[in-house]
């Protein structure tokens, strides 16, 4: 007598289903998980090594948004009236939004943030894709002025920053960034795809081997 598995449990069917499962797993793993992280440090300047550039907005009598390295452009020249305590000129996004565009992807963006109000927001983009939005209530910022550090996630890159405020005020100064090419942070395939592929292939191989060794007709 030859024992047979139910149709849905046959090895051939299992192998086909594994292939379908692998396809779905790879598709799910390949779906982007957009993210960036925020941390705070003390002081008015970035402590990150390898900075590409810092925009300090010049002296108070001649404020400007000139980037010494030439990669960042600003859509505003709204300079503040409340000094975050870092000297010179500074930006103020009160009831407004400042957009910063980078002509090359960056992996890090930092800025001095005066009074981290809950209605202050910083949105991080890769092209038109929103990676993360941070608010003044993000935590870890207890001093009147802190330095905010935003890092692109693994395999991510940043090309645009939007800094906005629904109230008064959102004072920022000393905007610093690191180009992705200089930090070595470049987009890469998720290693999860490779892990899933290897696991599914190994499981399928063992199922077929067990079928052959048993001599059963599945």
> Is 50 exceeded by the pLDDT of residue 193?
no
Q: 52: domain range?
A: 36-183
Least confident of 18-27, 86-95, 174-183: 18-27
The CATH number of the domain holding residue 89 is 2.60.120
Summarize pLDDT for 133-168 with one digit per residue, the tens.
Answer: 999 876 555 567 899 999 999 989 999 999 999 988
44, part of any domain: yes
Residues 113 and 201 in one domain: no
Pick from 110, 109, 126: which is nearest to 160 by CA?
126
The answer to whether residues 114 and 144 belong to one domain is yes
Q: What is the pLDDT of residues 199-214, one digit of tens each?
A: 566 666 776 676 666 6
25 and 55 belong to one structural domain: no
210 and 128 assigned to the same domain: no
18 and 117 in a single domain? The answer is: no
Assess whether 40 and 26 both reside in one domain.
Answer: no
Whether residue 103 sits in one domain with residue 160: yes
Asked, for residue 103, whether it belongs to a domain, the answer is yes
pLDDT higher than threshold 60 for residue 1: no
For residue 66, the model assigns a pLDDT of 95
Establish if 4 belongs to a structural domain.
no
Q: In the chain, what percentage of residues exceed pLDDT 70?
A: 65
Q: What is the number of structural domains in the chain? A: 2
User: For 99-129, what is each residue's pLDDT tens digit?
Assistant: 999 999 999 999 999 888 889 999 999 999 9
Q: What is the mean pLDDT of residues 171-194?
A: 71
199 found inside a domain: yes
The three-state DSSP-derived secondary structure of 17-59 is HHHHHHHHHHHHHHCCCCCEEEEEECCCCCCCCCCCEEECCCC
**Lowest mean pLDDT: which of 13-17, 48-52, 68-72, 120-124?**
13-17
pLDDT tens string 82-93: 677 888 999 988
Residue 192 — very low, low, confident or very high, per pLDDT cuts 50/70/90?
Answer: very low
End-to-end CA distance of the chain: 13
Q: Which pLDDT score is estimated for 78?
A: 81
Tell me, yes or no, whether 1 lies in a domain. Answer: no
Please tell me whether residues 49 and 64 are part of one structural domain.
Answer: yes
Same structural domain, 54 and 16 = no
Residues 114 and 168 reside in one and the same domain: yes
Task: Name which residue leads in pLDDT, 16 or 173.
Answer: 173
Whole-model pTM: value is 0.69
Task: From 139, 4, 132, 111, select the one nearest 48 (Cα to Cα).
Answer: 111
């Amino acid at each position: 007598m030859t024992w047979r598995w139910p149709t849905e449990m046959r090895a051939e069917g299992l192998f086909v289903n594994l292939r379908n499962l692998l396809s779905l797993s790879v598709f799910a793993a390949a779906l982007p998980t957009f993210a960036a992280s925020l941390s705070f440090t003390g002081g008015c300047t970035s402590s990150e090594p390898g900075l590409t550039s810092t925009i300090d907005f010049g002296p108070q009598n001649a404020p400007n948004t000139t980037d010494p390295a030439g990669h960042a452009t600003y859509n505003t020249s709204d300079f503040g009236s409340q000094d975050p305590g870092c000297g010179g000129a500074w930006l103020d996004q009160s009831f407004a939004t400042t957009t910063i565009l980078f002509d090359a992807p960056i992996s890090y963006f930092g800025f001095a943030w005066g009074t981290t109000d809950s209605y202050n927001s910083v949105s991080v983009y890769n092209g038109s894709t929103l990676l993360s939005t941070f608010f003044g209530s993000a935590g870890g910022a207890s001093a009147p002025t802190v330095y905010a550090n935003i890092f692109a996630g693994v395999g991510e890159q940043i090309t645009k920053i939007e800094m906005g405020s629904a109230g008064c005020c959102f004072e920022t100064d000393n905007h610093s960034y690191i180009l992705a090419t200089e930090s070595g942070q470049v987009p890469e395939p998720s290693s999860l795809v490779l892990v899933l592929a290897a696991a599914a292939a190994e499981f399928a191989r063992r199922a077929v081997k067990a079928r052959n060794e048993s001599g059963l007709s599945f």
